């Protein structure tokens, strides 16, 4: 497969029937462009991972990046921390993503031993870890599978460990929700997406990306065992939370 990166034009032509969104080869080829133009705050969130690891991960501690896609979080950590400061396992279910992530790590940071596994994060056997990242991944799991995964991750985290959960969100209040969604569509338009692309992608994500409210996320983290969680980043209908396992 080519390692070229393209501009996202997946939904740019009219489609009779818009297929469900999937992380296939076509999406992989334009994924860096797609996620940067579609996720408000994506770069700022990644930029904090190294700083959070410096504060919360012991030297040589382990990091899981679940639904790692092309390994952006691994690259961010490798750019911020020396090779012996952390061990990293990225996990993704999409073979096309895993292949590209491995290629990227080999080319961009050969001195860091960054591992990528092709697996379903719902059924993986987790080793003890100090920092677990779910950067825009939980939203793609069926809602009924989310509690069980978080309980597994809480069990895998070492005392003093942290879970980072970034998600697209919805508001309970209809008017607040509509305002955020409309301004999000303005954000996408300002980033070069047409009305057709915005509406066709919205249809493709229906029942594929199922967002929760921030309140649901915090309540779920509590049910999983976390006594403390906070929203550390929010930009329109996108947010990132951190949850702490007591030391």
Ligand X SMILES: O=C(O)C(=O)Cc1ccccc1
- Interacting positions 188-227 with ligand GEK (CB under 6 A): none
Contact flag: residue 104 with ligand GEK (CB under 6 A): no
* Sign of the alpha-carbon dihedral angle for 170, 174, 176, 178: positive
Interface with ligand GEK, residue 67, by CB under 6 A: yes
Q: Does 34 bind ligand X (CB under 6 A)?
A: yes
The reply to whether 161 sits in an annotated binding site is: no
Residue 42 counted as an annotated binding residue: yes
* Nearest to ligand GEK of 23, 179 (CB atom): 23
- Give least dist CB 85 to ligand X, A: 29
Q: Report d(CA 233, CA 127) in Å as an integer.
A: 28
With CB under 6 A as the contact rule, the residue among 3, 117, 120, 186 that binds ligand GEK is: 120
User: Which entry of ligand GEK, ligand X, none binds 114, CB below 5 to 8 A by partner kind?
Assistant: none
Among the listed ranges 66-74, 150-158, 178-186, 227-235, the one in contact with ligand GEK (CB under 6 A) is: 66-74
Rule CB under 6 A: say whether 153 interacts with ligand GEK: no
Using CB under 6 A as the criterion, what x/- string covers residues 129-168 for binding ligand X? ---------------------------------------x
Answer yes or no whether residue 93 interacts with ligand X by CB under 6 A: no
Binding of residue 38 to ligand X (CB under 6 A) = yes
CB of 190 to ligand GEK, least distance (A): 19
Binding-site positions for S-adenosyl-L-methionine: 42, 67-69, 120-121, 135, 202
């Amino acid at each position: 497969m080519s390692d070229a990166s393209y501009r996202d034009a997946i939904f740019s032509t009219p489609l009779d029937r818009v297929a469900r969104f999937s992380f296939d080869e076509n999406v992989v080829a334009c994924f860096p462009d797609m996620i940067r133009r579609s996720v408000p705050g994506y770069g700022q969130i990644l930029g904090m991972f190294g700083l959070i690891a410096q504060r919360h991960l012991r030297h040589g501690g382990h990091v899981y990046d679940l639904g790692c896609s092309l390994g952006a979080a691994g690259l961010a950590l490798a750019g911020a921390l020396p090779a012996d400061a952390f061990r990293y396992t990225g996990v993704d279910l999409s073979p096309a993503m895993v292949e590209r992530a491995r290629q990227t790590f080999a080319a961009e940071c050969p001195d860091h031993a960054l591992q990528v596994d092709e697996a379903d994060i719902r059924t993986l056997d987790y080793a003890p870890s100090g920092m677990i990242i779910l950067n825009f991944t939980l939203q793609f799991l069926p809602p009924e599978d989310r509690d069980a995964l978080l309980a597994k991750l809480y069990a895998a985290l070492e005392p003093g460990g942290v879970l980072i959960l970034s998600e697209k969100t919805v508001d309970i209040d209809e008017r607040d929700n509509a305002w955020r969604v409309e301004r999000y569509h303005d954000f996408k338009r300002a980033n070069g997406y047409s009305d057709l692309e915005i509406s066709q992608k919205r249809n493709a994500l229906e029942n594929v990306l199922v967002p929760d409210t921030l309140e649901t996320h915090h309540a779920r983290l509590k049910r999983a065992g976390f006594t403390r969680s906070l929203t550390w980043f929010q930009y329109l209908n996108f947010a990132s939370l951190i949850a702490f396992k007591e030391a």
